Structure 1
Amino acid sequence: MNTMFDRYAGIVFFAIGTTFVIGSRSISTSAYGSNVGANIFPMMLGAFLALMSIRLIYDTFRKQQTKKHKENLDYKRFGIIFVSAVLYALFLEDIGFVISTFLFLMIGFQTMQKGRVWVSLLISAAFSYGVYTLYVNGLDGSLPGFPTWLGF
C-alpha cells in the first residue's frame, strides 16, 4: 500500500464524488414511467464515492507505511472483470437486469475466488433479483426486465 498515492487518489475521488452529487442536482427529478428520477442514481453513487474517499484519506493518515514492497499486479483478473463489465453494459437492455447482473456477479465472484460455486450462485441470484424487486416494486422505478423470449 502506497499511502501517498492512496491519499492523493482519495482526494481526487472525493472531488469526483462531490461533483457527481452537485451535478446530479441539475438532472430532472422525474422520469417517464418511473417515480424515481434520473438524478437519484448519480447522486447516490457520488455520495458513496465521496464517503469511501473520506475513509481512504482517513486510513492513510492513520496508518504509517512501515514496509515498502512492490505488489504484483494481476492483469488476467483485471482483464476478465473489465471485459465482463463491458459486456454487462452492452447486453443489459437485451437480456435484462436480473440475468445480466447475475452473470456479471458470478463471473466476478469466480474470478476473485475459485470454488464455492453454490455460495456464488445464491448470492448472485439473491442480489440481482432482490435489487430488481426493491427498485421496481418498492421504489416504482423502471429497469430492463426479463427478455420477452423467456416468456416472463
Structure 2
Amino acid sequence: MNKKFDRYASFVYLLIGIGFVWQSTTISASSYGSNVGPNIFPLGLGSLLILLSIRLFYEVLKAKDHGGEKEKLDYKRFLMIFAAAVLYAFFFEDIGYILGTFLFLLFSFQVLERGKWLKSLLIASLFSVGVYVLFVVILEGSMPGFPSWLSLS
C-alpha cells in the first residue's frame, strides 16, 4: 500500500465527488418521458465518490507503514481495462447497456483475476441486468437495453 499516493488520491476523489454533486444541481430535475431526471446519476455517483474517498482516507490513516517498500505498477492491466472502457463507451449505443456492460465487466474481471469464469459470469450478468432493471423498470428511466439487431424486444 502506497500511503502517500492513496492519501492524495482520496483528496482528488473527494474534490471530483464534490464537483459531480455541485454540477448535478445545475442539470434539470426531470427528463421527457422519464420519472428519473438526468441529474440523479451524477448526484448519486458524486455522493458515492465522496463517501468512498473518505473511507480511503480513513484506511490510509489506519494502515501500518511497511518501511517504504515500493510496489510495482501494473500498466499492462490498466491499459487493457482502459482500452476496454473506451470501446465500451464508443459502442454503447450500438450494443446496448446490458450486453455492453456484461462484456466490459467480464473482460475486466478476467484481466484482474484470470480464471474463475463462473464467478465472473455471475457477477457481470447480475450487475448488468440488476442496474438495468433498477433504472428502467423501477425508476422508469430510459437507456438502450439490447441492440436492435439482436431483436429481443
After TM superposition, which residue ranges in structure 1, 4 or more long, deviate above 3 angstroms?
none
Unaligned runs of 5+ in 1: none
Larger displacement relative to structure 2 (103-112 or 61-70): 61-70
The two structures have a TM-score, normalised by structure 1, of: 0.94
Give the TM-score normalised by structure 2.
0.93
Confirm whether residue 110 of structure 1 aligns to residue 85 of structure 2: no
Root-mean-square deviation (Å): 1.2
Mind listing any 5+ residue stretches in structure 2 that lack a counterpart?
Answer: none
Residue deviations 1:20-57, cap 9 Å, x none?
11111111101122111111111111111111111111
User: Percent identity over the alignment?
Assistant: 55
Q: Count how many residue pairs are aligned between Structure 1 and Structure 2.
A: 152
User: Per-residue displacement from partner, 1:108-148 (whole Å, max 9, x unpaired)?
Assistant: 11111111112211221121112111211100010112111
Paired letter, 1:149 = W
In 1: Cα distance, 2:2 partner to 2:116 partner = 32
How far apart are the structure 2 equivalents of 1:38 and 1:8?
30
Residue 110 of structure 1 aligns to a residue whose secondary structure is: helix
**1: CA distance between counterparts of 2:9 and 2:80?**
24
Per the alignment, residue 19 of structure 1 pairs with: 19
- Which residue is 1:41 aligned to? 41
Task: Write the distance in 2 (CA, Å) between the matches of 1:26 and 1:65.
Answer: 42
CA distance in 2, matches of 1:89, 1:77: 18
